[in-house]
Amino acid sequence: MTLPYLPFARPAIDEATIAVVVEVLRSGWITTGPRAREFESRLSEYFGGRPVRALASGTGALELALDVIGIGPGDEVVTTPVSWVATANTIVRAGARPVFVDVDPATRNIDLALAERAIGPRTRAIVPVDLAGLPVDRDRLYSLARAHGLRVIEDAAQSMGASWRGRRIGSFGDLVAVSFHANKNMTTAEGDCLVVNDAAEADLVERLRLQGVVRSADGGQEVERAGAKLNLTDVAAAIGLGQLARLEELNARRRALARRYFERFDRALGCDLPPADFENANWHMFQILLPLERLAIGRGDVIRLLHAAGIGSGVHYPAMHLFKLYRAMGYGPGRFPHAERVGASILTLPLFPAMAEADVDRVCATVRDILRAHSR
């Protein structure tokens, strides 16, 4: 019997949400309107009453966050090389320089001790990333930021529903960008929200997400600062409202599946498993590090063999300082050995709420068979 293909991610959209999307489509108001405003209000409640603005993409949220704190030419921003390349690309597009530091080999998140050593006279901000929804140590992060007078932009793209010591990510701190891409713990198909500190920052984001236009009551318009086109539509917001209502349920299922992975994964294979954090992490992804030194095949071969067995997987993420763009800035092999090991060997396995325990067992068994068959 041929088993159905198992992707590494799949959104969990219920029929009630689909019905609301249809209702929005039939309403005639499909761009930013009442649903988007309601979504922002519900998100603000979720984040403890902090101001929130919904946006069209996670990349856009990072761009606007950098703009809000005034990052520009001559500035430096400390960040991690293990993330989706948007984290650093937005810094470059702001005219600033990303200052990479290595990751902690246990958490795969930015090493905050190294981050502190990388702070110089031009450093204006730090952008940590919660890889796979495992939060960076927020106590140490904000202690560092206060000591050096830095702004923080939390790239919390993957950590919706995660927490730090009982406090929801986004309910405290500085600027927080949370993604609602299709593979995230909750989705709007494409989209994001930016959690800010006060009404002034919220008003600025609101202007910048729609070309910087300020409208007056008499129909006049003024632009003092160049913006972008990053408003979230009501169609997307309708999806988001349905997802937000189910977020705790969806994340609970992810935690249960992650526990199953730990129970069933063959530790003798030599793979590094993620930290077993069931207090703070939201289990956005389940990622292993392949023991490439023990294999006669490479990661690409493992991916192809998994695909042939009907199992999807992903690479999240290559070490971005090795991309041509950043090599041209002076980065290169050997600078960040932990990040390079993670980037070369990381493999994302299927994890999404609709999976059954048997699906986890199937993935674990298939990975075991592939690695055993191709061990040195």
Q: Residue 311: is it exposed, middle or buried by C-beta count within 10 angstroms (0-12/13-18/19+)?
A: buried
Q: Mark whether 277 and 214 lie in a shared domain.
A: no
User: Mean pLDDT in the chain?
Assistant: 97
Asked whether residue 67 falls in the same domain as residue 196, the answer is yes
SS3 state at 10: coil
* In a domain? residue 239: yes
Which pLDDT does position 1 carry in this prediction? 66
Residue tagged active-site, from 50, 138, 184, 338: 184
Q: Who's near 310: CB < 8 A, 6+ residues apart? A: 2, 3, 4, 5, 6
DSSP characters for 143-207?
HHHHHHT-EEEEE-TT-TT-EETTEETTSSSSEEEEE--TTSSS--SS-EEEE-SSHHHHHHHHH
Please give the tally of structural domains in the chain: 2
Domain shared by 257 and 234, yes or no? no
Q: Confirm whether 84 is domain-assigned.
A: yes
Same domain, 214 and 124: yes
Domain annotation covers residue 302: yes
The verdict on residue 6 lying in a domain is no
3-class secondary structure, 110: strand
Q: Is 96 exposed, middle or buried (0-12, 13-18, 19+ CB in 10 A)?
A: buried
C-alpha closest to that of 40 among 338, 310, 241, 225: 241
Identify whether residues 183 and 272 lie together within a single domain: no
Q: Which domain holds residue 253?
A: 247-373
Assess whether 205 and 77 both reside in one domain: yes
158 and 235 share one domain = yes
Residues 188 and 126 in one domain: yes
Q: How high is the pLDDT of residue 252?
A: 98
Question: What pLDDT, on the 0 to 100 scale, is given for residue 2?
Answer: 81
What pTM was estimated for this model as a whole? 0.97
The stretches in the chain having pLDDT less than 70 are 1
Annotated active-site residue 324? The verdict is no
- The residues pairing with 76 across neighbouring beta strands, listed in sequence order, are 97, 123
Q: Do 161 and 115 share a structural domain? A: yes
